[in-house]
Amino acid sequence: MATTEQELDAPVASGLCEGCAFTATLLPLRRCIPGDICIRAHSGRQIDRFLRSNKDEAPNYLNDLFWERRAIAARYAPVAAIDHLIHDTDEVVRRVVAERIPVERLMDMVKDPDREVRLSVAARLPAPALTALFNDPDYLIRVTLARRMPHGQLARLVKDQEREVRKAVAQRLPTFALYTLADDPEPEIRAIVASRALPGLAASMLQDEEWWVRLAALPQAPPECIPQLLQDTEAEIREAARLRLLKLSETAYSANVSAPNPINPLHHPEDGS
């Protein structure tokens, strides 16, 4: 009987192949290769290669005793088949599940003990449902909330104990609400507030004890507040104030030059007539 070219190229079975059903089916097709593409190996890369090439086999390994085999199977199995793994004993498996299950099932994972799982949940939950994570003990979860939640709910995180959370809030608060962080104990946060402040709030922040907060407030402050900064103790602020006053002067001059004569609309100040 003639030997086909495919049979000649077939990988040679190894010790792990003994008793494996795929030796007779997938091995001749090179869809499993000992030491490279193998579901029996204790190698995540080999398992991943196997299930990537044989996705239809993934559901058969969702309850495997080896956590890594379950985690990789959860990555390739149909979404409907991995729902029961929400409560898997291994956090890596649950991380994969949190990235794939429908958003309406995510509420069952908001109390997961693993931070990475909850981060995935916080990144995927619909905005109105994010309130379920407001009191999460991990600040990274709360930072994620501050970056995603509707503007109207940000006020609930203004007094958060973690600087990074308040920093994220300061970057997204509507400008009319920035006053709630104007007295924050962290200069970095006050500087963010000052850089986004409306003129009235910016004017008050020109008195901040930190020079770089004052510098951040300077471009937003009303023009009448700028001359006082020419006497500031910091040279960088004095220079910024001088440049802004110069720009204001040039703008005013340009506006005056281009304004038409109210008595004679054809008269232009530069004409000299």
User: What is the pTM assigned to this prediction?
Assistant: 0.79
**Domain ends where: 56, 74, 101?**
101
Q: Per-residue b/e over 197-213, b at no fewer than 16 CB within 10 Å? A: beeebbbbbbebebebb
User: From first to last of its 273 residues, what are the pLDDT tens digits of the chain?
Assistant: 444 544 445 565 566 777 787 877 777 677 777 878 888 888 999 999 989 999 999 999 999 999 999 999 999 999 999 999 999 999 999 999 999 999 999 999 999 999 999 999 999 999 989 999 999 999 999 999 999 999 999 999 999 999 999 999 999 999 999 999 999 999 999 999 999 999 999 999 999 999 999 999 999 999 999 999 999 999 999 999 999 999 998 877 676 666 565 555 555 555 554
Integer CA distances (angstroms), 28 to 9, 31, 69, 73, 86, in order: 8, 8, 23, 23, 36
* Residue/partner pairs of 161-167 with CB below 8 Å, 24 or more apart: 163/188, 163/189, 164/139, 165/139, 167/192
From CA 137, how far away is CA 34, in angstroms rounded? 45
Side-chain half-sphere exposure of 8, counting CA atoms within 13 A: 4
If you ran DSSP here, which 8-state letter would residue 265 be given? Answer: T
- What are the backbone dihedrals phi and psi of residue 238, each rounded to the nearest 5 degrees, phi first? -60, -40
**Domain ends where: 101, 133, 158?**
101
Position 38, amino acid: C
Asked whether residue 185 is domain-assigned, the answer is: yes
- What are the backbone dihedrals phi and psi of residue 37, each rounded to the nearest 5 degrees, phi first? -125, 95
Domain count, the chain: 2
From CA 20, how far away is CA 22, in angstroms rounded? 5
Are the CB atoms for 51 and 76 separated by under 8 Å? yes
From CA 254, how far away is CA 212, in angstroms rounded? 31
Asked whether residue 212 is domain-assigned, the answer is: yes
From CA 76, how far away is CA 37, in angstroms rounded? 15
Asked whether residue 188 is domain-assigned, the answer is: yes
From CA 193, how far away is CA 187, in angstroms rounded? 10
Beta carbons within 8 Å of 80's beta carbon, 6+ residues apart: none
CA diameter of the chain: 111
Position 263, amino acid: I
Asked whether residue 204 is domain-assigned, the answer is: yes
Q: What is the mean pLDDT of the chain?
A: 89
* Residue/partner pairs of 211-214 with CB below 8 Å, 24 or more apart: 211/236, 211/237, 212/187, 213/187
**Domain ends where: 101, 136, 158?**
101
Asked whether residue 237 is domain-assigned, the answer is: yes
Asked whether residue 264 is domain-assigned, the answer is: no
Asked whether residue 268 is domain-assigned, the answer is: no
State the first-to-last Cα distance of the chain, in angstroms, to the nearest integer. Answer: 111
Specify burial of residue 150 (Cβ count, 10 A radius: 0-12, 13-18, 19+). Answer: exposed
- The whole-number pLDDT of residue 260 equals 61
Asked whether residue 4 is domain-assigned, the answer is: no
Q: Which range of residues forms the domain containing residue 79?
A: 27-101
Are the CB atoms for 218 and 229 separated by under 8 Å? yes
